Amino acid sequence: MQFHQQKTAFPSIFQPLDLGYTSLANRIIMGSMHTGLEEEKNFNRLAAFYKERAQAGVGMIITGGFSPNWFGMLTPFSAKISNEKEAQKHEVLTETVHQYQSKIILQLLHAGRYGYHPWNVAPSAIKAPINIFTPWKMSKRGIYQTIKSFVHSAVLAKKAGYDGVEIMGSEGYLINQFIASRTNQRTDAWGGIYQNRIRFPLEIVKGIRQELGYEFIIVFRLSMLDLVSEGSSWEEIVILAKALEAEGVSLINTGIGWHEARIPTIASMVPHEAFTFVTKHLKKEIKTPLIAVNRINHPEQAENIIASKMADCVAMARPFLADPAWVEKARHGQSDLINVCIACNQACLDQVFKKQVASCLVNPFACREQEMVVDAVHRAKKLAVVGAGPAGLAFAKIAAQRGHQVTLFEKHSEIGGQFNLAKKVPGKEVYQATIDYFKAQLALLEVDIRLNTEANSERLKDFDEVIIATGVRPR
């Protein structure tokens, strides 16, 4: 398929990427993130979530992680794809995304010793510091069966309409546990020297290629910085990357840090583009397209990464929770209208770890696309919103989008409310981005903002409705 590149303020990220038998429309990937919708009986809500991102033009979507078998689940009865019945549920996802010429990739994730259940397995019986369960040491037969499970799940993914799979080989999950001496203390052909420890991921890739051929995308998520003791050295990472290239992976994605690592990798205090240097270094060693990740929020950052040849693609996950139209806005040079992820992790990671459906602090519509629909009103009203903190700003924006005439009263000299305090905390300067977003959106929607103006009965008497959004007490 040929893609015609439109003129844009960010030409590098909107270049197609040739993968040989197929192409990506652009260099922007929605990276894997677990939302909690993967565990539902049907995937209609997940399809609606992906639809908005595909509709806006993202080049490729990588799903949340699905285990290839029972032993690899993250928690009891969490997402897996191991039989035809489970695979059929996925067809609504692939059909939805393909309507908009985006690619969709299924992530295969075996949790290994991170599985929060008593039947988790690992190369060695070494308990993870973040788990209460000690894993069962995998037998040789168990290893071969697990490789077959990965291959079988990839076959099921193709039948369900996926363009490919991503093999999760980082973040300290099973494959990473085989690779690192920290967790692999075997003395057989699957442990010991590095060539033995990387045999497991290479056999998985080889098996999928043999079964499905080269007209199927294989992304390998490679841990380029383990950030734990006894992890892989840089020399070892390069060896594995070259071996994966030889086995025919389509793209290599960047993984940063094990879940048990003590070094922050995605929190707000982590600088933007903090880990692109590893992808840049690996790009000198191999020809396989590389994907840069972590703390890439703005089109300007993504453009710099691709234009500077630090990577071939950028993958963002949480930014697509914050704004499903990220790609569309970037294409039209509307960076100021992008609702920026503030890396608070409160409604995404925190909720998923509590086994709740994810959402987003700055975009509560995320993962609730079917429930929270913004329709035009039948009769427009004159609305007064009192208080220009996050709640008042959000209400004013949605009300104006629906067609109401909105006036926003704020007794202080600037909008933002308590976000103006939060942004002063070191590491939380990004909260200013949310304030800037609302400034741009409300200007576009012609909301009348009255600063340094305290609402009173005289000023409010001519409005149809008054909305009180004067804030909460800090906890």
Distance CA 334, CA 343 (A): 21
Successive 10-residue mean pLDDT values, the chain, 475 residues: 65 97 98 96 96 98 98 96 98 99 98 98 98 98 99 99 99 99 98 98 99 98 98 98 99 98 93 96 98 97 98 98 98 97 93 92 95 95 97 98 98 96 94 98 98 97 97 75
pLDDT in the model for residue 474? 67
pLDDT in the model for residue 63? 99
**Quick one: tokens of 430?**
């990004």
Q: What are the angstrom distances between the C-alpha of 80 and each of 68, 87, 89, 128, 152?
A: 6, 9, 11, 22, 12
pLDDT in the model for residue 430? 94
- Tell me, yes or no, if the pTM score tops 0.75: yes
The single residue of 173, 214, 431, 437 carrying the catalytic annotation is: 173
pLDDT in tens, 278-307: 999 999 999 999 999 999 999 999 999 999
Distance CA 49, CA 313 (A): 22
Domains and CATH numbers, the chain: 17-353 (3.20.20.70), 382-468 (3.40.50.720)
> Does residue 184 contact residue 123 with C-beta atoms inside 8 Å?
yes
pLDDT in the model for residue 6? 60
Total count of residues recorded for the chain: 475
Distance CA 390, CA 361 (A): 10
| Residue in this structure with the two tokens 């890396």, named with its chain if needed | 343
Chain-centre distance for alpha carbon 343: 12
- Assess whether 173 carries a catalytic annotation: yes
pLDDT in the model for residue 8? 81
> Does residue 139 contact residue 58 with C-beta atoms inside 8 Å?
no
pLDDT in the model for residue 62? 99
